[in-house]
Amino acid sequence: MATTYTVKQNQSTCDAIIQATGSLEAGMQFCRDNNVSITSVPDVGFAFTVSDEALALQDSGTLLQFSQNGVTIGTLNAGFLLPPPSHIYSRVLTIDHTQCGSSNSLDFPVLVSLSDRSLKTIANGGHVCRSDGSDILFFKDTGEFTKLNWEVESYDGDAGTLVVWVRLSEVTCGSDTVFFMQYGDSGITTFQGGSTGSVWNDNYIVVYHLAGVLAADSTVNNQILGDINSVAQVAGKIGGGAGFSSAMTQSLWRDWVPGLPQGTAERSMTCWFKMAADQPQEFLGYGDNRGPGFHSRFGFYYTGTNDLSVEVSGASSDFSWTYDTNWHKMTAVLPTGANNLNQVLIYFDGVLQTVTSASAILITTNQELALGQIPTFFDPPFYTGALDEVRIMDVGVSADWEITEYNNQTNPGNIGTPGFITYGDEY
């Protein structure tokens, strides 16, 4: 009798699941005949060895071919062996508390960024039912009764990629934070993550992912930016980003954004940037230099001589940085009770910087906002490079919040590859 080969992954029976493309995952097993397991795959990879048998998985369109010592021993129809669409899959998501500073972060929008075959749609060999990913859900509790709020930045059911922001009431520093992900429920036909903007609490004035609709604001404030001279959609640090050329004087701009912190009000402003020219350039800011005097705007500036600055029109606070073309995160915080430029805290890649600063009482005026330059409108020098995840808040975030956010966005982790988040096996 010929040997029958099947595959399983964290299931009690061998005919439960076949993945149509990509690498094998931890927990997947080859079985033969009467549910007899040949091996478990401890690590991601196409080929593995069992005793004297070498088994490899080959992708052939919609079919899976199994080879033994280079000879094809069987072909399985992936579509036939996939579980029915009604099967619901879950994973435990665990945040590494050692990456979360020394105090808890409340109302934290955590980044979940994944690429995995299981997140492809069923038609593409995965377990997600809906082409828009609406059956991908996030829960607070192990019983999956309490839904969280989340925003999908992007989902590709063909590739199995997902970028989503999930609002957690608390990310703790003393112990790991756990939440839950579910997908594969064919009964889900609409988005379940809450109303527009629900991930971002009232302290967020604007949030620009710069992906999909380039100038869209993810908060309830819906402060859509104008596109000056056709800013490019480029690969961002997280999903999509915006690409600017100083030669084309490109920017994303809005002449009035209500709610931006004025005068000496508490604030935080952050972005990811990737410069493409070693020259003086302004890349983000709001306010006005046409107001009643100096110090009436708040922006990020590169001097062209290995210094990055928070610039307030007529004065700046600088720290040393050697130009490169990598992605970096920059955050400026004016804490509660502060009123002077020399009290602004500047974080670079999650680390508080030692600065050289002028003394200047802030009088931030007007509410003009610009990406790819800083106000006033059409004043050079414009920016050459990319931006991603631009956010302005009306509170000063803490050092613990900043390092938690940086660690999350730098290495969010993936299925089979732990980072800020570790993703448990499907169950």
Residues 369-378 have a mean pLDDT of 82
Burial class (CB in 10 A: 0-12, 13-18, 19+), 13: exposed
Confirm whether 167 is domain-assigned: yes
Confirm whether 123 is domain-assigned: yes
Final residue of a structural domain among 28, 48, 81: 81
Assess whether the previous peptide bond of 261 is cis (omega < 30° from 0): no
Residue 100 has pLDDT above 60, yes or no: yes
Domain limits for position 55: 5-81
Confirm whether 175 is domain-assigned: yes
When pLDDT is cut at 50, 70 and 90, the band that residue 153 belongs to is: very high
CA-to-CA distance for 288 and 368, rounded, in angstroms?
A: 7
Name which of 336, 257, 341 is nearest 294 in CA terms: 341
CA-to-CA distance for 248 and 260, rounded, in angstroms?
A: 28
Residues 161-188 have a mean pLDDT of 96
148 and 224 fall within a common domain? no
What pLDDT does residue 4 have? Answer: 43
Final residue of a structural domain among 38, 62, 81: 81
CA-to-CA distance for 155 and 162, rounded, in angstroms?
A: 5
Confirm whether 403 is domain-assigned: no
Residue 294 has pLDDT above 70, yes or no: yes
169 and 246 fall within a common domain? no
127 and 55 fall within a common domain? no
pLDDT digit string, tens, across residues 202-244: 999 999 999 989 999 999 999 999 999 999 999 999 999 999 9
Q: What is the share, in percent, of the chain residues with pLDDT greater than 90?
A: 70
Q: In sequence order, what are the residues at sequence separation of 6 or more whose Cβ sits closer than 8 angstroms to the Cβ of residue 5?
A: 30, 31, 32, 66, 73, 74, 76
What pLDDT does residue 375 have? Answer: 82
262 and 383 fall within a common domain? yes
Rounded (5°) CA angle 135-217-399: 95
325 and 252 fall within a common domain? yes
pLDDT digit string, tens, across residues 120-129: 999 999 999 9
Confirm whether 112 is domain-assigned: yes
Confirm whether 399 is domain-assigned: no
Residue 293 has pLDDT above 70, yes or no: no
CATH code (residue 388): 2.60.120.200
When pLDDT is cut at 50, 70 and 90, the band that residue 29 belongs to is: low
When pLDDT is cut at 50, 70 and 90, the band that residue 289 belongs to is: low
Most confident of 44-53, 341-350, 367-376: 341-350
- The total domain count for the chain is 3
What pLDDT does residue 143 have? Answer: 75
185 and 325 fall within a common domain? no
Residue 2 has pLDDT above 50, yes or no: no
